Every structure is written in structure tokens, then in C-alpha cells.
Amino acid sequence: MEMQKQEGLLTDAEMESMTSVQASEVDDWANFKDNDIMQQQSAILAEEAEKIPFVGDKEPLSSLEAEYQSGSIILLEKIKVLSEQYASIRRTRGDGNCFFRSFMFAYLEHILNSQDRAEVDRITANVEECRKTLQSLGYADFTFEDFFALFLEQLESVLQGSEASISHDELVQRSRDQSVSDYVVMFFRFVTSGEIRKRSEFFEPFILGLTNATVEQFCKSSVEPMGEESDHVHITALSDALGVPIRVVYLDRSSCDNGVVSVNHHDFTPLTGDLPADAATVGGPEPINPFITLLYRPGHYDILYLK
């Protein structure tokens, strides 16, 4: 005679359903805790970043080596290779704006040191073209005009000979002033976004390689907002829009062929043939010595200085 199930006991199907619900709740809780931990870590990193100035003082390259004394041997070897060509580093805050901030300071510092009036005139003309690009794309002037005006003001101020001229120390202080520094960063972000949108067919394959977003979505979510990190798409677009060649030196753990330690770099070459005289090869469009050199470590850019 078949035994009847006792009252109050769950069937196998009910037990399986309850187990499934409990497992789901455990997964949800685990995901919640993971997100909570990630948010806490992000908050800690943001708090630590705020202790670092937007633009730091120039330091000897040996200070970079000190960071990796207990770390990767290959990175220490690569820093030694770097030291053969570069003397100093200037750090920037790791807040997602480090590429634009590094470019900002390096470019203005170059103009301050070179007093190259022709270069200022050249880039001013390019800035005007960038303004027209944004207008043609439907941007209202009020959304970007203040950022453009402030950049042009900083550009003129590093040329000496007027009451508005500033010293190198004043340039450092302005670059650390959030009301100035962030506005110039936003200028670069709008210039970059405008260039990407204008040449959407060119940039689209690269963007699809990074994300599933459209060009417009990418610009809105990954270019224009403050705090969004930059990659080769951003650098290419900014270099092309302003006509400024940029060298990026990569300090990473990539292996070296034949046991020879080497440091890779990439020169971002503007499409325009109207390059600064000291950046163009005679008889050709390829730059040989970009006057802006940035050091890239995964997720971060700083400024490098040649010996």
C-alpha cells in the first residue's frame, strides 16, 4: 500500500522551487554586496585623488621608479630605459580627466617657453573652425562658448609682453584652480566631441571596437562628461582637430622581444599638413618630435619631459 505524504511536508517540486528562490536571493544579495563594495572602492579612490593637485610639480623620473620598487621587475627595467631619454615627469590627478589636463598644461607650457606667436595664431584659427563645427552640428553657442573663451584667454596669457601675461608659476596655479582648469578641460572635450561627430564614419569602427554605442551615444556618455577616461579615439580626434601632434609613451607589462627591454610609443599625427615647424619632417607630413609627450600607465596619463 502506497504511503501518503504527511500533512505539512513540502512536495519535491515545492522544495525545488523554494531552493531556487533562496539561491536567487543569495545571488541578488551577493550582487548587491559586490556593487556596494565597488562603490566604496570608487569613493575611496575619488577621495585619494582629491588629495593630489590637478597638476603636480615637475619631479625627477627617479620618483617614478620609487613607486615600483616592490612591484614588477619589467616595469623597473622599462623606467630605466625611459630615463635614457626623459628627465622628468609631471603628474596629474587621476580623476578621469588626466589626458585632457595633461595636454592642457603641456601645450600651454610649450607656448610659454617657446613664445611661438605663429603657433598661437595657427591654433586660434583651428579653434575657430572647431567652433563652426559645433555650430553646424546643432550645438547652441551658450553650451560651449564660455569654455572656448577661457581657453583662448589662457593661450594669450602665456605670451609675454602684455598686462595679462603670466609667469610659469602662475600657469601652474591656474592649472590647479578648478574654475579655470575644469573649463579648459571642457573646452577640449567639446572640441574632441565635435571632431568625432563631424567624421563619424571614420571613428565609428573604432568606437564599435570599444563599445556597442553609436557615435552620438559615445560622445554624450564617454567624451563630453567630466570624469570620463580617454583612449586612442579621444587622442586622435583632439590631435586632428587642433593640428597638434602628440606622443604617448606606454609604460606597461607587455613582454619584450628577444629579451631586449624596450618602451613602446605612438605618435598621433594630425590629418592636416599645417603642422608646427618643429614637428614636421622636411618634405613629408609625418612629425618626428611632437612637443607634447605623455606617459600612459593603464588608466592614467602624466606629462614627460625630454632631457
Q: What is the structure's pLDDT at 36?
A: 58
Angle at 198 between CA 194 and CA 203, to 5 degrees: 95
The active-site residue, picked from 116, 130, 240, 300, is 300
- Respond yes or no: is residue 265 known to be catalytic: no
At position 195, the amino acid (one-letter code) is: E
Q: State the Cα–Cα distance between residues 152 and 253, nearest whole angstrom.
A: 39
- 28, 95, 146, 219: the active-site residue: 95
Task: Work out how many domains the chain is built from and give that number.
Answer: 1
Which residues have a Cβ under 8 Å from the Cβ of 234 and sit 6 or more positions away? 99, 192, 223
Backbone angles phi, psi at 195, to 5 degrees: -65, -40
Sign of CA dihedral 123, 197, 212, 183: positive
Residue 15 lies in a domain: no
Residue 12 domain-assigned? Answer: no
Confidence at residue 48, expressed as pLDDT on a 0 to 100 scale: 56
Is 98 a residue of the active site? yes
Global pTM reads 0.81
Whether 40 is covered by a domain: the verdict is no
State the virtual CA torsion across 111, 115, 118, 124 in degrees, nearest 10: 40
pLDDT digits (tens, 9 = 90+) for 99-128: 999 999 999 999 999 999 999 999 999 999
Active-site position among 98, 116, 219, 234: 98
pLDDT at 276: 46
Q: Is residue 243 part of a domain?
A: yes
> CA 277, 297, 41 angle in degrees (round to 5)?
140
Mean pLDDT of all residues in the chain? Answer: 85
Is 181 inside a domain boundary?
A: yes
Residue 21 covered by a domain: no
Q: Of 160, 155, 159, 217, whose CA–CA distance to 188 is shortest?
A: 155
Q: Is 44 among the domain residues?
A: no
If DSSP states are collapsed to H, E and C, what string results for 16-65? HHHHHHHHHHHHHHHHHHHHHHHHHHHHHHHHHHCCCCCEEEEEECHHHH
Range of the domain at 282: 59-306
- CA atoms of 149 and 163, how far apart (whole Å): 18
Residue 135 lies in a domain: yes
With bands split at pLDDT 50, 70 and 90, how would you rate the model's confidence at 279? very low
CATH code at 297? 1.20.1300.20
